Structure 1
């Protein structure tokens, strides 16, 4: 029997939850493709010591077309067909934060390209280019409670994440009849409130609910990125992954 070769593609892999997910997936039998706008040399060192094959790529995910083209080219050049393939859509931005009346194209469009358009085009490239591998495929989009309830000052973030939720549902609807082994399961997972740089940005914003986020930090009620990443990896391995297409990690 050939050795397992589970492929994981992680966006936003250099910081916060993405870096923690990368670290959590550095186990034998996995192969990682990590993409971000910046490098994390310490994480790269840890990955090298782990012995797990990791390919690091710098890519601006606010460019939806180039992001998809990049992913397609990477998948086309894989030297070994994977046992399974998983796309983790983690990269995202929270700004612009502010009232609806203050929204402007120059900040709104890059936000929606990063949080919605690029995940859509990358998912398309992922599904098209992995079809030939004849293996099970998963798409995990890191969503938010903001996708499912409005938050004052977060209209862009709420709308983009809500769109991502619906896109995951659309993927499931389209691939519901896919026959084994070429199955496709997609989930939009809200991970809870995590102690990352994004939370620091929120705490410094002019936001009606900002005090609640400051109190979460002060009262040590934020989950660590490492703990959350471990729980997400366990979630990915659940035999019923995909049965709940819009899910919340806090339910488990």
Structure 2
């Protein structure tokens, strides 16, 4: 029996990953502030289970309690493999550094960096205790490797996530565990986040016209297509390379 814990399953890439994994026979636990009821029917049709946990990932205490509840349900004697996919993220606030408020900075870092750090730590801790093989996937962005006007927070949070992921992968290797920790870069997709980016003012985000062109020129990937690549990687668990940066661009 295989389980996948996925954050941000209400829509977009998270929902697409959940759907494809369930169709492949994987039981899914979704974490999001809102429920995606379509996933329940997909689970029934696929003969697997879908459980939803409503959680504000920016609330550390709430996240801790939620992950512990999920761990109790996922890590059991019938389980052979657990996937953790940290997908939820935000690009906001899009603006220059001097316009950032302390509240906005904290909320951004809590969701984009602290939440995946905590979920990874809690899930791997339980995996060690139970002796169940676990694969952690942290969804990153090319913004981690370049400086973008108006994206100082987004680029920083993703760069931090990259270093964290690579460091944890190194630890698992040195500890000689069977667990694997990887990064997945989906590049630009047709999601709500892209809509937020296109609505930014040129004063806050100088590349806004380029992102508007991506939409007009149909250069945004469908989340189902991107999810299919990640799911194919995950289902071939033996071939997954611990610590690797997997990019959708390598599969086009």
Q: What is the match of residue 73 of structure 1? A: 69
Provide TM-score, normalisation by structure 2: 0.92
C-alpha distance in 2, partners of 1:73/1:81? 17
Q: What is the match of residue 188 of structure 1? A: 183
Kept after mapping to 1: 8 A contact 2:198/2:212: yes
Q: What is the match of residue 21 of structure 1? A: 17
C-alpha distance in 2, partners of 1:154/1:235? 29
C-alpha distance in 2, partners of 1:131/1:68? 18
Match of residue 232, structure 1, among 208, 215, 230 = 230
1:141-220 mapped onto 2 (5 Å cutoff): 141-179=138-176, 182-206=177-201, 207-220=205-218
For structure 2, which runs of at least 5 residues remain unmatched after alignment?
Answer: none
C-alpha distance in 1, partners of 2:38/2:235? 27
In the superposition, relative to structure 1, how do residues 249 and 8 fare at CA in structure 2: closer, same or farther (>3 Å)? same
Q: What is the match of residue 41 of structure 2? A: 45
Alignment RMSD: 1.6
Q: What is the match of residue 110 of structure 1? A: 107
Please say if 1:251 is aligned against 2:246: no
| Runs of 4+ off more than 6 Å | none
Q: What is the match of residue 84 of structure 1? A: 81
C-alpha distance in 2, partners of 1:81/1:124? 22
Q: What is the match of residue 130 of structure 2? A: 133
Q: CA deviation at 1:55?
A: 1.1
What number of residue pairs does the alignment pair up?
246
* Secondary structure of the structure 1 residue equivalent to 2:206: coil
Structure number with higher helix proportion: 2
C-alpha distance in 2, partners of 1:48/1:63? 31
For structure 1, which runs of at least 5 residues remain unmatched after alignment?
Answer: none
Kept after mapping to 1: 8 A contact 2:170/2:243: no
Provide TM-score, normalisation by structure 1: 0.92
Kept after mapping to 2: 8 A contact 1:178/1:184: no
